Amino acid sequence: MTGKLPGVERFVDVEPGVRLWVTEAGDPAAEPLLLIMGANASGLTWPDPLVDALAARHRVIRYDHRDTGRSSWPFDTTTYPLAQLAEDAVAVLDALGVARAHVAGMSLGGSLVQLLLIDHPERLLSATLWSTAALGSWTPRAGPEASALPSPDPSLFELWEHLTAPRDREAELEFRVEHWRRLRGAGPFDPDEFHRLEERIIAHAGRHDSPAAHARADPSGLERAAELNGVSTPTLVIDARQDPVNPPPHAAYLASVIPGAELVTIPGLGHALGSDVLPALAEAILRHTAKHSR
């Protein structure tokens, strides 16, 4: 490799009035790897140790979704469907001059990766998904197999009822850490680790109000599970056995509807990226991208 990007930051205009914060790490000549975070989550939610491990082999690109972090927060004046966030990901690649990239996404980011697999396969070298569900799994139109899949832990619904409630900075930090604790599932949880993470995210955004626009956005356009049968991009589905949002067998079902998808399990992985799971997660992603390198 040649030189490495020392955390290059820029802003990308994806449409009039909407600007996204983007950062890159790693060798600019290496194969690009685009990280797509979940709902209401800044790109800084990707832990630095994970980014550093991936950047040893890739030009790693991460960004703030609209209505998170330093990106534009337009939802209160200009609403949009959740599916628009997938087009934002393509706009980021366009702005950086990236013709094709490996992509990895968790939670809603995994749903967005599925939309990219369907709508923009020519832009993808490979895809990795975890802590997510097959498109449309929770909708009334889902088929009988998907309808039988488990719903999120009820304690999460109790917390989500207060997602948009106004809170001062300390109360918001406490709420976010508790949210991560529940998302972690039945495994070790270090509240200080996630308190530091959210302190950093609030400082990055310059505001502490809850980034909850994606919870209010129109989910129509995500009911496209049948189209996953036509996917040909090499896809890895990681089974997060401790995930309380998309518990087993969500990952196995998702892998079954994407032709040729590989399914691997990372012990202890939930819906929060604690330091204990990062080495195994990085290894799984890098093994997959290496198999499908140009």
Question: Contact at 8 Å (CB) between 233 and 124?
Answer: yes
Question: Contact at 8 Å (CB) between 284 and 266?
Answer: yes
Which long-range contacts link 172-180 to residues 24+ away (Cβ below 8 Å)? 172/202, 172/208, 172/209, 172/210, 173/198, 173/199, 173/202, 173/208, 175/210, 180/272
Catalytic residue among 179, 214, 271, 288: 271
- Written as six digits, the tokens of 271 are 């819906």
The verdict on whether 243 is a catalytic residue reads yes
Q: Which residue's entry shows tokens 């990219």? A: 116
Catalytic residue among 64, 67, 239, 243: 243
Catalytic residue among 107, 111, 126, 131: 107
DSSP H helices in 120-259: 144-147, 154-160, 169-184, 191-205, 213-216, 250-257
Helices (H) and strands (E) in the chain, counts: 10, 8
The verdict on whether 271 is a catalytic residue reads yes
The verdict on whether 48 is a catalytic residue reads no
* Active site positions, annotated: 107, 243, 271
